[in-house]
Structure 1
Amino acid sequence: MATPPPPPSSSSVPNRAVITSPQAENGEEFKVSVFASSSELVAKLQENWAEKGKEKPYPAMYSSVYGGITLDPAMMLIPIDDHMVHRGHGVFDTAIILDGHLYELDTHLDRFLRSASQAKITPPYSRSALRSILIQLAAASRCQKGTLRYWASAGPGDFLLSPAGCPTPAFYAVVIQDDFSQCRHGVSVVTSRTTPMKPPLFATMKNVNYLPNVLAKMEAEEKGAFASIWVDEEGYIAEGPNVNVAFITRDRDLVMPPFDKILAGCTARRLLELAPKLVEQGQLRSVTTRNMTLEEAKSSAVAEMMYVGSTLPLLAIVTWDGNPIGDGDGKVAGELTMALSDLLWEDMLYGPPDKRIPIPYSS
């Protein structure tokens, strides 16, 4: 969520009290605004967004705290005493908005509820009510392309460790405008060396504790790579920081790590459902999930490699720890990777009705 910066010493909002601290490090006075009323604070929050001078990146948000949808990004806030904020006790999921449709909403919602159960959070609404809220939110946003992200939290209540003092769990959702497109380029990755992957309990649950994921991503960026690859304690390939990973062997087998220790990506599962079409056409020999060691993954047995994720839907990996994948030149995506990407992208645009829910925008 967007968090407004500390209020500057501007006096654009009238009648604002100011406290001056004499202990600023550089000897200058640091003025802290005191907002005497909610109207003053709202005005300042809206002023901050107006100063950004661009289209609203978050066209709509729902919060169970106030039980409705806001279209004002300045009001897209979460209580500071929500246990998701200060204890990380929350789960989330994301569905794609593409061409005025919600893609795989039900698949993502089912995983969301499994994650909530694992985290011992009971969302404040039934599954059908959550689904209805999300569709109404997408409609209110009028967004044609972007993402719909939603959270279940232990809820606001206090700053203790146990959620016993939280009256009720909370549900939040936001639409994020995003002009993504099918990835046709390739990226470089590195093996994560300094950031250990999460243990299976937390890796298989889509919870809000993404600090390991963030650090793994930063580790890669510091080395000039796009992202990283985690390897588990047994030496098997696991996943990327927020994506699944897949391989195509020289024998034209599509291989994906099993989901027992990593997040079961909705897009990855859909790829496993669609990829047999290429087997029928003779482009692939087989589609399977199995463990693959780091040594095997980096050997000459692998011809192509890719990330699998919602907005990609596939992103070719062309170099790993500085070495090209297969016989590639380290620049161009492989043919079978793009064939699989085309399958997913076509499904996102023209797939069956149970995968693509039309958003009922009002006239």
Structure 2
Amino acid sequence: MATASKCKRGILRYWLSAGPGNFLLSPAGCPASAFYAVVIDEDFSQRREGVKVITSTITMKSALFATMKNVNYLPNVLSVMEAEDQGAFASIWIDEKGYVAEGPNVNVAFISQDKELILPPFDNILSGCTALRLLQLAPKLIEQGRLKSVKTGNLTLMEAKGAAEMMYVASTLPILPIVMWDEQPIGDGKVGELTMALSDLLWDDMVAGPGNLRIPLPYEE
């Protein structure tokens, strides 16, 4: 796709559909499935400015629909619109047990005051490929003495808001610093040094390509 389009910097997006038919709920009226691959020419760059987020009041998707790729994006759309109405970039979902879950189409990650990288576990949210790759690459910062540990684990709303740094993690970002949550600063309210170090790791990894050595996932607590 990239070769055919001659796009050197952009995004590949894929859609698998039941195909053309009668537009009813059942796919029985569709004679054949359809697979769409689209190249989007977009010169996106590393995100160095922090954004503001809110806690979403929109009900998050159930685990069944959150843990698999599907077109059930209405909660995501409503969540983004709610945030934009309040002057924020996007939002954060809190699950029924009071733990931080994810954002709309993005994972979320935190740097604790003890310099631990923590991502919410993927039991009830999407295990994004960029979030998984971040867990693979982040131990490099442990080797450098900049991070204490890397793990997945539950965080309450209060614990998360008390983090030193916070970020969105997704394929088109791949990391977007978050500096304000519900009008409360995260850490000192500035883009964190470790957030940008993690961003550098992901950007360098993208440049290196698929031949780069894959590091085993750390133990998930």
Contact between 1:146 and 1:176, CA under 8 Å: does it hold in 2?
yes
Partner Cα separation in structure 2 for residue 206 and residue 334 of structure 1: 31
1:198 — aligned with what? 61
User: Deviation at 1:157?
Assistant: 2.0
Trace 1:255-274 onto structure 2 (pairs within 5 A): 255-274=118-137
| Structure with max Cα Rg | 1
**Aligned residue in 2 for 1:146:** 10
| Corresponding residue for residue 22 of structure 2 | 158
* Matched residue type, 1:347: D
Residue number among 197, 211, 214 corresponding to 1:353 in the alignment: 211
| Matched position secondary structure for 1:201 | helix
Structure 1 residue runs without a partner (length 5+): 1-136, 356-363
Percent of aligned pairs with the same residue?
71
The alpha carbon displacement at 1:140 in A equals: 1.6
CA–CA distance in structure 1, aligned partners of residues 76 and 39 of structure 2: 22
Q: What displacement does 1:203 show?
A: 0.7
Equivalent residue number for residue 98 of structure 1: none
Question: 1:281-360 alignment to 2 at 5 Å?
Answer: 281-299=144-162, 302-326=163-187, 328=188, 330=189, 332-353=190-211
User: Quick check: 1:175 aligned with 2:36?
Assistant: no
CA distance in 2, matches of 1:271, 1:239: 15
Q: How far has the Cα of 1:352 moved from its partner?
A: 4.5
Normalising by the residue count of structure 1, what TM-score does the alignment of the two structures yield? 0.57
Asked if structure 2 preserves the Cα contact closer than 8 Å seen for 1:181 and 1:311, the reply is no
**Runs in 1 of length 4+ with deviation above 2 angstroms?**
none
Letter in 2 for 1:256: L
Q: Aligned partners of 1:294 and 1:171: how far apart in 2? A: 40
1:167-224 CA distance string (max 9 Å, x none) = 221111111111100111100100001x111101111111112111111001001000
- Where in structure 2 are the equivalents of 1:88-99 lying within 5 Å? none
Query: 1:5-39 CA deviation, whole Å, 9 max, x = no partner?
Result: xxxxxxxxxxxxxxxxxxxxxxxxxxxxxxxxxxx
- Report Cα offsets for 1:38-74 as digits up to 9, x if no partner: xxxxxxxxxxxxxxxxxxxxxxxxxxxxxxxxxxxxx
* Offset of residue 311 of structure 1: 2.0
Deviations 1:268-320 (A, max 9, x none): 00000000010111100100001111121123xx1110001112211110010
Report whether the alignment pairs 1:217 with 2:80. yes
Q: How far did 1:251 drift? A: 0.6
Q: Distance in 2 between matches of 1:297 and 1:177?
A: 36
SS at match of 1:269: helix
- Alpha-carbon distance in structure 1 between the residues aligned to 2:26 and 2:197: 49
Alpha-carbon distance in 2 for matches of 1:260, 1:173: 29
Structure 2 gaps of 5+ residues are 214-221
Equivalent residue for 1:226, pick from 89, 99, 104: 89
| 1:106-128 superposed Cα distances (whole Å, 9 cap, x missing partner) | xxxxxxxxxxxxxxxxxxxxxxx
Q: Which deviates the most, 343-352 or 248-257?
A: 343-352
What is the root-mean-square deviation in Å for CA atoms of aligned residues? 1.3
Distance 2:133 2:20 in 1: 36
Indicate how the Cα distance of structure 1 residues 200 and 144 shifts in structure 2: closer, same or farther if over 3 A, else same.
same
Structure 2 residue identity aligned to 1:155: G
Deviation, structure 1 residue 160: 2.7
Q: Which residue matches 1:124?
A: none
- Determine if the alignment matches structure 1 residue 185 to structure 2 residue 46: no
* Preserved contact between residue 229 and residue 239 of structure 1 (Cα < 8 Å): yes
